[in-house]
Structure 1
Amino acid sequence: MTAREDRDRAVATLRRIAFLLERAMASSYRPAAYRAAARTVERQEPDRLHALAAAGALTDLPHVGARTADVVARALAGQPVAVLDDLERGAAAEDAAAPDDAASALLAALRGDMHAHTDASDGATPVQEMVLAALELGHDWLAITDHSPRLTVAHGLSAERLRAQTAQVAALRRVVAPFDVLTGIECDVLEDGSLDQDPDLLDELDVVVASVHSKLRMDRATMTRRMLAAVRNPRTDVLGHCTGRRLTGRERPPSEFDAEAVFAACAEHGVAVEINSRPDRLDPPHALLEVAVAAGCEFAIDSDAHAPGQLAWLRAGCERAVAHGIGPDRVVTTRSAQEVRERGRRAAAAR
């Protein structure tokens, strides 16, 4: 192994640890520490890195603490890394415990994910790291859907920043082909049901996820009108986490709306209902999923990932789907990237 290969192994080890911590729903500061260390190590000249390890001085580097320094030193020397081995065993045990059932078959059929965030808004990593994680998971494509501008708490993207990101995605797509990266946005549904971004810019994107993030406790009739306006907008491809509920941490009850009317509109206008796989969301609730199935909706099983390891959370969505008899034919994310693009354009043209 060359010194450069040793450094690359150390970087890969740090990132793999972060990925597995994210997958296991560890506190965000832990994977963030490993990713920060990985970025620092990646910038070092390989010989200098070896010299620092030999001198026991890796903690002199920014963002490298005692634990991450030990990981780097062991990886540079080609030695086992206990924290990584423990996490790998835990992930393998979790996978082995998963039944070989309809949910597993649906998970295997998924080809992409229509809802993922980067550090351009409130995600943890640059788009490149999200794409690499999706590749490692065996996906064929990933849609990048950062937040829109009025969601300032999530550092939503202005039109200018979104245009810059779409250019970045186009360049990245050429590098990672045949893997595909779709341009997109999670667009805030404003109080009047309009979408929070320049309509002409939305027309240029591959995927528009429309989600309600504010005034979630408005009355049922007003919320219904708001959601219907968003669903009927020809630029909407997916209705994201429709109730806005939170199940853990700062818990939040589901918003109230006429589910039969909203899901009938989704079916009529070709808008997929998202089955959000985040453990703190699991949205829609089972009762509303049943309504969406009866309405004839299509579905997008998404991770709503804000970090690379969270892209591995899709099984929960698959389990919820099969519990309601939803097969691959009704799941948009089992289709190719090109089919997803064409689906959105056909639906818009038909409205």
Structure 2
Amino acid sequence: MKAHEITSFTGYVIAYVVLITTALLLMPMPFGIYVILVVAVPSLVLVTLLLISDLLRGRNPQLSGFVRGTLAPSLFIYLLIDAISSMLVTIYHLAIISYLMNFLALVIIGALLIRSSNQYASTRHDVSQSLRYIAYLLIALGLGYLFGAVYKPLFYPFALVSIIYLVLASLTALTGAVDIDINRFLTSSRSLAAAVFGIGLFYVVLSIPKPAQWNIYVLIAFVIIASIAITYAGYKLLISGLGNVEVIEDEVYEAHKREIRVVASPEYARLEEPISDFVAHGKKDKIIMYLTHELTKDGLDYEEIMARLDKLINYSSIVKGRGRVSRKLIEMEIRDRANLVNELFKQLYGDGNTNNEGW
């Protein structure tokens, strides 16, 4: 083992010894068990997760960073607040304390997950989205506890929303392992969340003490509102696929446009738009016109120009015209178009005007 690894391991051993010794000393004391639950147990879990993070650092740096930066503090905060909540409820016998403390814990953990999702945004889009949906799930539950502290049935609308985000998080995580397209579903996620929130509110209204005959009016109002909401959600789901391909193409192109092997120059100002149109969206008119102009200036005749641009002229996208397309397929197409651009400009300008990095 290296010197710094030995030092780190020694630090963990000392931390374990201190925490366990402190817990044993506090156990016989009247409030010792509360101090152990509030301080020793969360700290012990935190130290253990930090140790796991260090062990993972060499094998999986990303997972190590997630454990250290998100999982460890999240569990520490949850255990700490849960222990404080249990202690306060035992002392004051107020159930509202539990609701408020759960709200605090879930919102803080949700904020930590959102921060973590931002770190993955440029490298693992599926992981970033999944973490963000989990964060929304926790925040929705937290808000449920907050409003539930005022009136218990108010918890349920937020709980239903959290279920939607649980489904979204699961589906988004699956896209990283399975080639499935859920973009149209994700695009309508807000409508779905609003719909289930409305169902929860309907339950809240029904649970409010009132004359029994009023329930029929509440039911009629709910049916009308639900019909409008379902119609709107269906419409959004129907049209959501129309712009998805373009959006994903822009995202993928922005992530990889630096890998197009054309050196920036005064000429590149005119080239940038044709290249972007073709590589990102498969629109080849402008780039064909530009290359034809350049090749004509070089003295090539019609047959030679057609031979040079044959691949570009005959290129066709398999993505266009399809409503539901996976991100992997779009990325593959953009990669192919970028390679075609690299090949064409290498022929046009030679190696001196291209860099050496590719897809």
Which has the higher relative contact order, 1 or 2, with Cα contacts under 8 A spaced 6 or more apart?
Answer: 1
TM-score normalised by the shorter chain: which range applies? under 0.3
Q: Which has the higher strand share?
A: 1
Normalised to the residue count of structure 1, the TM-score between the two structures is 0.22
Query: Greater CA radius of gyration, 1 or 2?
Result: 2
Q: Which has the higher helix share?
A: 2
Normalised to the residue count of structure 2, the TM-score between the two structures is 0.22
